[in-house]
């Protein structure tokens, strides 16, 4: 329900207080202005004082018969009621003795009464209109439930264009057909081509799907109606369907136009997939049904294109994705190396960048980051530069910002005991040693025992290139690296702690995917099942899976086999490099943070030669994102 803004609310309450105040003043005016009090006496007392010549003034009201008088040598006023008829000679005699006698004759004018009625009627009218306006506002709020809450951006407002979006050349080229249709629909109509009614942008969060939709409207110069999926939902059933109808009616009036529905999965979820006895939420399903009808009901020549954005296309209803509705799906992936550099350049455009900053190096050191992540990285670098008192952003600020984004804020206030600090050092040393010596593991960037985020220590690895396919060797090395902390604690202390809980959870998830989804188990073979879910059956919530109990036991057995193999491999490697483990842990206890290059030097010195030989095939250590890119460039050359 729309509510008035704070300024309008204040004005209404101020008017109400003013009206009430004026009424109170008018009602209390006689008592406010009649400040002189009088004492009532009997008529006999008054007459006795009159004939004895003890009064200084007499005021007679002929209409009411009331008499107001004052005694000589007294300032108080007295009043009485009764007849008085004094001849003129007696009045003259009283006046001669100093008594002032006056008579009040009522006026025959009716204007005071008319004015009084006008004032009271006017105040009543103001009060009545005030309360009627409030009631009308509440009724209009109730009636506006069914209206669309889309934000309409007209063509006069400056808009985003493709030039404002760095990278994504393939996506922009594919989506430019929508721009051409909105600009010149006659070209498509002449040849008989049917343009898509709906375009669905699919991609991870932060990749710029909303920005791309806005750029389409900016390039075409048409109205852009933006709404989120949650804007259709209300507590009353049928409100969402009414808002969908109002949205499409508004778009038809402004055609050619673009309707953009962000987070469309909130209303486009598969029908019957909810956790209710009826198979889903009635309001959501009615909203989806109305949207399906609207998209199927309007003619493409109307010039209305519906664009949606989601990061979960697998849960959308199939009827929403069929031809004639969302005809085209465009994937907006995470930016690759060639796209991250121009994205960084856009976000650095209005910032003071130092001469030592190389965006190509930063782009190489940020694989897997979305456009929103890169914007956050640049902003964190700027904040770090301000904290250290610099007038420009330098490369060290980007290094610190990357640590902040990936590892979290350092918790300097959290003090570990010496025993805990030592255990964390051995735990992180186990990760660092395996990250350096295993051939397919990602290169080691740095290791720290300073608490950051939710972790007591962090071992950070840096992939030097974007990966889209993961070989089994890489996955097995990743499992072994995560097992390194647990194994190191067991080797040094002979017991275990809770420090490896996150490592074990991530390893279990990865091993389960190897067996159940990627077919990397000899016992299971080339078979794949989706992740387990839940469904509502009758009156209880039961688990759902697409394989038998026997297969489930085999899956559990294979997952345990893979994890135990990773633990055995990590123990063998750490036993072989035990001296390096002790030296790295000692260095960590002294410095708290050691970069990858220093870890490599310590391990090589422990054995008198480089562990990987003189010319390693793949670099396995780097001191920072600068060093990482240096090794990458050397390999490429």
With 0-12 / 13-18 / 19 or more C-beta atoms within 10 angstroms meaning exposed / middle / buried, residue 621 is buried
| Long-range contacts, 553-559 (Cβ 8 Å, 24+) | 554/523, 554/524, 555/512, 555/515, 555/516, 555/521, 555/524, 557/523, 558/515, 558/521, 558/523, 558/524, 559/508, 559/511, 559/512, 559/514, 559/515
- Which of 150-169 are b and which e, b meaning 16 or more Cβ less than 10 Å from the residue's Cβ? beebeeeeebbbbeebbbbe
Residues near 292 by Cβ (< 8 Å), separated by ≥ 6?
A: 319, 320, 325
Q: How many CB atoms lie within 10 A of CB 417?
A: 8
Q: How far is it, in rounded angstroms, from Cα 279 to Cα 540? A: 13
Q: How far apart are CA 482 and CA 506, in angstroms?
A: 8
Q: Which residues belong to the active site? A: 428
CB-CB neighbours of 592 under 10 Å: 14
Q: Tell me the H-state helices in 392-471.
A: 395-407, 418-437
Of 213, 246, 217, the closest CA to residue 231 belongs to 246
Q: Enumerate the H helices of 28-104 as residue ranges.
A: 29-33, 43-51, 88-96
Say which residue the tokens 């080229």 belong to: 173
CA atoms within 13 A on the CB side of 428: 33
Q: HSE, CB side, 13 Å, CA atoms: give it for residue 126.
A: 16
Residue spans of alpha helices (H) in 193-330: 209-220, 239-253, 265-268, 282-297, 318-321
Q: Identify the residue whose tokens are 């097995």.
A: 476
Bridge partners for 448 per DSSP: 458, 593
17: DSSP letter: H
Place of tokens 């009430």: 20
CA distances from 344 to 196, 335, 370, 601, 629 (A): 33, 11, 11, 33, 16
Cβ proximity of 240 and 283 under 8 Å = yes
Q: In what order do the strands lie in the sheet with 304-310?
A: 151-153, 224-228, 257-262, 304-310, 198-202, 328-331
CB 138 within 8 A of CB 234: no
Specify the DSSP class assigned to residue 224: E
Tell me if 76 sits within 8 A of 39, measured CB to CB.
yes
**Both tokens assigned to 56:** 């200084």
Strand order in the sheet with 55-61: 38-40, 77-81, 66-71, 55-61, 100-104
Measured CA to CA, the distance from residue 115 to residue 122 in angstroms comes to 10
- Angle at Cα 208 formed by Cα 303 and Cα 353, nearest 5°? 135
Per the listing, tokens 């490099």 go with: 577
| Structural contact between residues 351 and 322, judged by C-beta atoms closer than 8 angstroms | no
């Amino acid at each position: 329900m729309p509510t008035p803004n704070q300024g309008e609310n204040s004005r209404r309450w101020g008017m109400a207080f003013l009206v009430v105040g004026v009424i109170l003043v008018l009602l209390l005016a006689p008592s406010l202005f009649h400040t002189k009090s009088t004492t009532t006496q009997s008529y006999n007392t008054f007459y006795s004082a009159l004939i004895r010549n003890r009064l200084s003034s007499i005021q007679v009201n002929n209409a009411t018969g009331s008499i107001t008088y004052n005694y000589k040598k007294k300032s108080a006023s007295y009043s009485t009621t009764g007849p008085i008829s004094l001849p003129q000679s007696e009045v003259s005699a009283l006046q001669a003795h100093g008594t002032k006698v006056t008579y009040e004759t009522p006026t025959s004018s009716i204007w005071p009464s008319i004015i009084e009625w006008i004032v009271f009627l006017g105040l009543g009218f103001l009060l009545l209109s005030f309360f009627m306006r409030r009631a009308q506002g509440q009724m209009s709020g109730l009636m506006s439930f069914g209206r669309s809450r889309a934000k309409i951006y007209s063509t006069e407002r400056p808009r985003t264009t493709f030039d404002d979006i760095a990278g994504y050349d393939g996506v922009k080229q594919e989506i430019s057909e929508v721009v051409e249709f909105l600009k010149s629909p006659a070209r498509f109509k002449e040849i008989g081509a049917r343009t898509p009614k709906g375009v669905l942008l699919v991609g991870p969060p932060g990749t710029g799907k909303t920005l791309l939709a806005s750029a389409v409207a900016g390039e075409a110069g048409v109205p852009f109606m933006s709404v989120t999926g949650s804007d259709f939902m209300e507590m009353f059933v049928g409100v969402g369907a009414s808002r969908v109808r109002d949205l499409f009616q508004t778009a038809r009036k402004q055609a050619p136009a673009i309707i953009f529905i962000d987070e469309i999965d909130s209303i486009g979820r598969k029908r019957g997939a909810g956790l209710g006895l009826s198979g889903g939420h009635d309001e959501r399903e009615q909203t989806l049904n109305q949207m399906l009808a609207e998209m199927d009901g309007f003619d493409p020549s109307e010039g209305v294109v519906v664009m949606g954005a989601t990061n979960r296309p697998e849960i959308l209803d199939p009827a929403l994705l069929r031809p004639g509705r969302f005809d085209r799906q465009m994937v907006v992936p995470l930016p690759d190396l060639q796209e991250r550099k121009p994205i960084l350049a856009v976000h650095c455009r209005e910032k003071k960048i130092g001469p030592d900053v190389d965006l190509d190096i930063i782009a190489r050191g940020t694989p897997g980051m979305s456009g929103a992540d890169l914007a956050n990285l640049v902003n964190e670098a700027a904040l770090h530069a301000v904290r250290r008192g610099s007038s420009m952003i330098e490369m060290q600020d980007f290094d610190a910002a990357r640590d902040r984004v990936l590892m979290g804020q350092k918790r300097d206030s959290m003090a570990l005991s010496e025993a805990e600090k030592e255990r964390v050092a051995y735990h992180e040393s186990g990760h660092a040693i395996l990250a350096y010596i295993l051939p397919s593991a990602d290169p080691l960037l740095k290791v720290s025992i300073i608490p950051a985020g939710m972790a007591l220590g962090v071992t950070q690895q840096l992939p030097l290139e974007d990966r889209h396919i993961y070989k089994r060797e890489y996955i097995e090395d990743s499992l072994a690296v995560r097992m390194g902390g647990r194994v190191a604690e067991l080797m040094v202390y002979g017991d275990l702690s809770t420090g490896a809980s996150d490592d074990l959870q991530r390893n279990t998830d990865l091993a389960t995917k190897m067996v159940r989804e990627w077919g990397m188990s000899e016992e299971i073979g080339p078979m794949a099942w989706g992740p387990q879910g839940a469904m509502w059956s009758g009156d209880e919530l039961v688990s759902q899976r697409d394989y038998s109990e026997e297969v489930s036991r085999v899956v559990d057995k294979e997952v345990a086999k893979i994890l135990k193999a990773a633990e055995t491999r990590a123990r063998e490697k750490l036993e072989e490099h035990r001296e390096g483990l002790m030296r790295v842990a000692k260095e960590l206890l002294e410095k708290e943070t050691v970069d990858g290059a220093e870890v490599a030097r310590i391990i090589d010195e422990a054995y008198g030669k480089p562990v990987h030989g003189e010319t390693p095939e793949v670099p396995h250590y780097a001191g920072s994102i600068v060093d990482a890119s240096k090794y990458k460039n050397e390999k490429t050359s």
